[in-house]
Amino acid sequence: MTATATPPTDAGSVTLRTQKDILSSVRARHALAGLRLATGFIFLWAFLDKMFGLGYSTASEKAWLQGGAPSQGFLTNAPIGPFKGFFNGIAGPATDVLFMLGLLGVGAAVMLGIGVRLAAWSGSIMMIMMWVAEWPLEPGSTNPLIDYHIIYALALIVVAVTFAGDTWGLGRRWRSLPLVASNPWLR
């Protein structure tokens, strides 16, 4: 896999790049598109399961539509470590709404290949917060540093910096919109 970058036009600015500028290998672009779709589906599936109680990690009677609290149980019971009080303190209906909107927004954006930069930042922050809440540095964790939260955050970052939304996604069309063209952080 050969990576190329377009040189800066002046100090601090970079010309608009495409996935082909970053990755010249079609196979690599396809692999990254697969990673994008799989990672997006992780977030979208979590949203769907918690919204409708599909019986995987959320029982039907605990579905958000049935009055369940998708983040409150986690924030009240799961946190350990030095930030336990913080996470217990923020548990409430507002965190349920924010969590569900985050899962839906990150999942949909990443799967569609639009707004991937913003979704990658948002999803990574969500994953890091969950990592901190579960505090794997406590004895007894399977790995004190790297767990699935970190892997998901890294996958989101890789998908964003390689413009993986351009392959099998709407990334090219999205970036051509005037609003997105003038605000690259929306890409």
Residue 16 in domain: no
pLDDT(10) > 80: no
Q: Summarize the confidence of residues 116-140 as an average pLDDT.
A: 95
- Number of structural domains (the chain) is 1
Cβ–Cβ contacts within 10 Å for residue 41, how many? 14
pLDDT digits (tens, 9 = 90+) for 39-61: 999 999 999 999 999 999 999 99
Element containing residue 9 per DSSP (H, E): strand 8-10
CA distance 123 to 157: 9
> What pLDDT does 19 receive?
77
Report angle CA 171, 125, 56 to the nearest 5 degrees.
85
Residue 9 in domain: no
> What pLDDT does 142 receive?
87
**Residue 16 confidence class, pLDDT cut points 50, 70, 90:** low
Find the domain containing 54 and state its range: 27-186
Residue 1 in domain: no
Residues of the chain with pLDDT > 90, as a percent, come to 82
Q: Are 154 and 144 in contact (CB under 8 A)?
A: no
**Residue 21 confidence class, pLDDT cut points 50, 70, 90:** confident
Residue 10 in domain: no
Residue 11 in domain: no
Sign of CA dihedral 130, 115, 93, 48: negative
The number of C-alpha atoms within 13 Å of 17 and in the hemisphere containing its C-beta is 20
Query: b/e map of 4-20 (b: 16 or more CB within 10 Å)?
Result: eeeeeeeeeeeeeeebe
**Residue 8 confidence class, pLDDT cut points 50, 70, 90:** very low
Q: Which two tokens stand for residue 50?
A: 């918690």
Predicted model pTM:
0.87
Q: Summarize the confidence of residues 14-22 as an average pLDDT.
A: 72
Residue 81 in domain: yes
